[in-house]
Amino acid sequence: MSENDLGIKIGLEIHVQLTHLKTKLFCGCSTDFRGKEPNTNLCPICMGLPGSLPVLNEQAVKDAVALSFALNTQVQSKMLFFRKNYYYPDMPKNFQITQYDKAGGVPFSVNGKVKMENSKEIRITRLQLEEDPARLSYEGTIDASTATFVDYNRAGISLIEIVTEPDFGSPKEARIFLDKLRSIVESLGISDGALEGSMRCDANISLKGGIRVEIKNISSFKEAERALNFEISRQKSLIAKEIKVKRETRHWDEVRRITVSLRTKEEEQDYRYFPEPDLVPITLPPELLDKIKLDMPELPENLKDRLVAQYRISIANAKILAENKEYAKYFEQCGKIYHDANEISNWVVGDLIPSLAKRNISLQTAKIPPESFCGLLKLLDTGQINRSTAKTVLDEAIDSGKAPDAIVRQMGATKITDETTILQIVNKIFEEKPTAVQAAIKDPNAINYLVGLTMKATKGQADPKVINQVIRMKLEAG
């Protein structure tokens, strides 16, 4: 059965942590919790102690506006917060301050759309601001652990929740969208997707118009694709055995790479939403929205189009460069130093980025400034090194931070093009291999053997074209 025959419908609910904010959504506590002592960034507000009052983080609102524009959702003029009540150790207040309420609440923004590469449009249902719950961790897997650990440092950090319509036809398509979303939030400078747990998602999936199953607790986008693939094979085998797929919420266990049932629909909680009495409704001034719209940074889609138009590089290269602002910036810096933008883009996309990925480092931590990188391209352009040597030099430059010409000198890897040097080597070979020389005099095809010997003697550094010329010259001279 192909994926199309299965009638796969996937919807996503993504939580983007506003990692660049210094303080939490409703208090002044630090958001810097990764790798820190647990339960140290706390105050009466994020702990929900009696008498404490939340104060809304202004920048979080501006970020939500910017992301709304980027996802083409309509920002609602009135902003309201609601309490979602539930009793669970990850929420010290026993309620979460959020925005949506099924009974007449107003999300932050609604009805957006994001265009995919194949021009398919993914509909964005809504976007809203809310606070992150505490971080729960386990010893090993969730159901084998004897204890649950809670770190309230994360409780109260700003989240933007994005809900899509069930428009994805495959786990792969969902993953492409998630990666796209990551590059959008990174280009807006509101979240760093590389930080653990900064972008999490829940997913819902149905096959053949059947029952929708929710998958919770997916910690990264890579895991999302895995979880959805697992869920498809699970539901497929149930359908094959004519067992009804149950309406339920399942947990993604990334250690065992399976989904396990958390609760069935009948047990679904009633969150008793009601307007948060400690936060007044806010009307967003149109001037503020206009200003944010005017100050929007270049989004990956526009950046890609501009790179293609301005530098005449391939769409495929431009797309990869535009996905990460740092890459695009680096490419443009190189473009000011070296004349061939196409060659730069090919080497950045085809060699530099994969080399960095192999080392698990970013462009910022790699020790190869644009000047060095362009120096390498110049060595290649002037024929001083060949492509395979250039790749070795690039690796060495990334690791050592040395300039490529210095590395080449050290390696003695400069391509030998000098006729006199090559002639000396050829002379030696002619002396050592008289039979091969005789053969070449009789049969022009036998010359390749002599070229090969010369290449070997120069450890592949000599230019084969020059070797050929020198040998022919010598044969003709007799």
Provide the CA 171 distance to its chain's centre, in angstroms. Answer: 16
Least separation in angstroms between CB 153 and Zn ion = 9
Residue closer to Zn ion (CB basis): 46 or 348 = 46
Least separation in angstroms between CB 138 and Zn ion = 25
Least separation in angstroms between CB 49 and Zn ion = 10
Residue closer to Zn ion (CB basis): 29 or 416 = 29
Least separation in angstroms between CB 28 and Zn ion = 7
Interior angle at CA 58, CA 55 and CA 63, nearest 5: 135
Residue 97 three-state SS = strand
The Cα 189–Cα 26 span in angstroms is 21
DSSP strand E in 102-180: where?
109-115, 121-131, 135-138, 148-151, 158-164
Residue closer to Zn ion (CB basis): 29 or 184 = 29
Q: Are 259 and 252 within 8 A, CB to CB?
A: yes
Q: Are 208 and 239 within 8 A, CB to CB?
A: yes
Residue closer to Zn ion (CB basis): 134 or 379 = 134
Residue closer to Zn ion (CB basis): 42 or 440 = 42
The Cα 244–Cα 358 span in angstroms is 44
Residue closer to Zn ion (CB basis): 154 or 325 = 154
The Cα 334–Cα 151 span in angstroms is 44
Angle between helices 370-381 and 325-337 (to 10 degrees): 50
Strand-pair category, 95-98 with 82-85: antiparallel
Residue closer to Zn ion (CB basis): 24 or 226 = 24
Least separation in angstroms between CB 46 and Zn ion = 3
Q: What are phi and psi of 236, to 5 degrees?
A: -60, -45
Least separation in angstroms between CB 129 and Zn ion = 16
Least separation in angstroms between CB 53 and Zn ion = 12
Contacts of 128 (CB under 8 A, 6+ apart): 64, 98, 99, 100, 107, 108, 109, 160, 161
User: Which residues sit at the interface with Zn ion, rule CB under 5 A?
Assistant: 27, 29, 43, 45-46
